[in-house]
Structure 1
Amino acid sequence: MPELPEVETVRRGLAPVMEGAVFRRVELRRPDLRFPLPAGFANRLIGASIEALDRRGKYLTARLSTGEILVMHLGMSGRFTVTADSIKKPGRFHAAQNCAQKHDHVIFHMAGAHPAVITYNDPRRFGFMDLAAVADLEKCKHFKGMGPEPLSNQFSAASLNAALKGKSTPIKAALLDQRIVAGLGNIYVCEALYRSRISPRRKAGSVAGKRGERLCVEIVSVLRDAIEAGGSSLRDFASAEGELGYFQHRFDVYDREGEACRQCANPISRVVQAGRSTFFCSRCQR
């Protein structure tokens, strides 16, 4: 599933053609994605302008002139593709393979300074779209109880230590809890724990003091590095320009079982925690 850096990469690709633009036409190729689309979905979008395109955790949010927020989640295989002559591709990443058109489920025809067609393609249909009132956004089912954004001023060593205090679950599992910090997933939790030299098996409540400070710094660092690289292209992720991210070539531990640790040459280990693969160096991480 795309994590924060992948979703942020998509947001940055969509922003030039969505912010300030108006939904001229909305094509719905089916009535549902993972869940049924909201009642009157197309009609509630047509004619509305997008005042801002933001991200909350792993979600994209488009604030509309109608007082509603368009909430979008990519699921496992969802991607947006922008077709617009005025938008240039970054040209830094390998080109992605084209998705079959039969999986084009929602198409936005945008009018504005950069007219564009934005196609949502999702072979597995684990993604979804919803509409929520702007005033009730943080209280809606998608965001209620969600933790702070790790790249915001609300995230700090103090806030992380407070959220982890007293927790006996492994730190790996705790960091995957969106109530602790928003947007983290399996890839970047593994990488952040490696960079901060913390064992994924350590009890979350014991990650305090200097460990907590180090972890906070490395969470932010790994996310910023991944965003700069355009995210990680594992299986289905691609940016809005149809490009693949490059951060997977910089993984220190994720998906490197048996390979040498970059610091000590010890083989990278893999264990299963709560049904998810965890990659780490048993020598460097304590």
Structure 2
Amino acid sequence: MPELPEVETTRRKLLPLFVGKRLLQLEHRDPRRYRHTERAEGQRVEGIRRRGKFLLFALTEGWEMVVHLGMTGGFRLERSPHTRVAFQLEDREIFFHDPRRFGRIWVVRKGDYQKIPLLLQLGPEPLSEDFRFHEFWLGLKGSQKPLKALLLEQRLAAGVGNIYADEALFRARPQYTSKRGTTPLGWTCAHVDGQVPIGGGPHGTAYPTHQRLEA
């Protein structure tokens, strides 16, 4: 599944393709996965930001298009057998490719995420100024859940998935014992914060669909 670095890579590649362009039509056959996309038609894309693993397209007239790539979602410049959504822009078509069909799209009023509870519950970004080491440490220390499960919940650190959670815990070498408080949580915090930018190269480590935007 694309994680924080892969989604950020996708965002940066989408900027010159979408920003300033008008969305003429969004073509798909699955209104359950791609909700209210007709609201985006005719709107101009003003910017794209990322929150955790979500891409947030700022549209004119107060609308926002929220995209989650799921496990295998990504954008391409050509249609494929796994194309799920076709974005017709003023100057080109861009295709959302998703073999396993876990990706989602919502078009909502800007900031109204009531229908997207996971987005509402996201914690701070690991590399942002809002991330507080001590608060993260307290969140881990105050729970009886396994460390990896806590990291994957997204409440303590947004955007961390299986790959980076595994790598952070491997580097932290937590000691799983029956005595509460013996796990070196401080090391876990440090390695979660330090693991995200390391990745597996300039684009991250996950499934490579996010790298298919070169013209």
Q: TM-score range by the shorter chain?
A: 0.7 to 0.9
Say which one has the larger Rg: 1
- Residues 109 and 36 of structure 1: is their aligned pair in 2 closer, same or farther, counting only changes over 3 Å? same
After superposition, the C-alpha distances for 1:1-40 in whole angstroms (9 at most, x for unaligned) are 2211211111111112112222133222x134xx34324x
Q: Report how many aligned residue pairs link the two structures.
A: 214
Are residue 66 (structure 1) and residue 61 (structure 2) matched? yes
1:55 to 50, 53, 71: 50
Partner of 2:210: 238
The question of whether the paired residues in 1 share the 8 Å contact of 2:163 and 2:206 is answered with no
The question of whether the paired residues in 2 share the 8 Å contact of 1:157 and 1:216 is answered with yes
Please list, as runs of the form range in 1=range in 2, the aligned pairs for 1:1-286 lying within 5 A after superposition.
1-28=1-28, 30-32=29-31, 35-39=32-36, 41-42=37-38, 44-82=39-77, 101-111=80-90, 115-137=91-113, 140-199=116-175, 201=176, 206=181, 211-226=184-199, 229-234=202-207, 237-241=209-213
The one-letter code sitting in structure 2 at the alignment partner of 1:153 is E
- For the residue of structure 1 that corresponds to 2:17, the secondary structure is helix
The question of whether the paired residues in 2 share the 8 Å contact of 1:108 and 1:117 is answered with yes
The question of whether the paired residues in 2 share the 8 Å contact of 1:164 and 1:207 is answered with no
How far, CA to CA, are the matches of 2:200 and 2:41 in structure 1? 32
- Residues 214 and 11 of structure 1: is their aligned pair in 2 closer, same or farther, counting only changes over 3 Å? same
| Percent of aligned positions that are identical | 35
Could you tell which deviates more after superposition, 60-69 or 16-25? Answer: 16-25
Greater relative contact order (CA < 8 Å, ≥ 6 in sequence): 2
The question of whether the paired residues in 1 share the 8 Å contact of 2:22 and 2:45 is answered with yes
The question of whether the paired residues in 2 share the 8 Å contact of 1:2 and 1:76 is answered with yes
- Residues 6 and 194 of structure 1: is their aligned pair in 2 closer, same or farther, counting only changes over 3 Å? same
**1:140 Cα deviation (Å)?**
4.3
The question of whether the paired residues in 2 share the 8 Å contact of 1:5 and 1:227 is answered with no
How far, CA to CA, are the matches of 1:138 and 1:239 in structure 2? 31
How far, CA to CA, are the matches of 2:69 and 2:4 in structure 1? 11
- For the residue of structure 1 that corresponds to 2:194, the secondary structure is helix
Q: Is there any run of 5+ residues in structure 1 with no aligned partner, and where?
A: 84-99, 244-286
How far, CA to CA, are the matches of 2:98 and 2:161 in structure 1? 20
The one-letter code sitting in structure 1 at the alignment partner of 2:101 is R
- For the residue of structure 2 that corresponds to 1:51, the secondary structure is strand
**1:184 Cα deviation (Å)?**
0.9
**1:207 Cα deviation (Å)?**
7.5
After superposition, the C-alpha distances for 1:160-190 in whole angstroms (9 at most, x for unaligned) are 0232232112212211111222111111011
Report the RMSD for the aligned CA atoms in angstroms: 2.7
How far, CA to CA, are the matches of 1:69 and 1:110 in structure 2? 16
The question of whether the paired residues in 2 share the 8 Å contact of 1:171 and 1:202 is answered with no
**1:214 Cα deviation (Å)?**
3.7
**1:71 Cα deviation (Å)?**
0.9
- For the residue of structure 1 that corresponds to 2:77, the secondary structure is strand
How far, CA to CA, are the matches of 2:109 and 2:49 in structure 1? 15
- For the residue of structure 1 that corresponds to 2:35, the secondary structure is coil
- Which runs of at least 4 in structure 1 moved beyond 4 Å after TM superposition? none
How far, CA to CA, are the matches of 2:204 and 2:92 in structure 1? 24
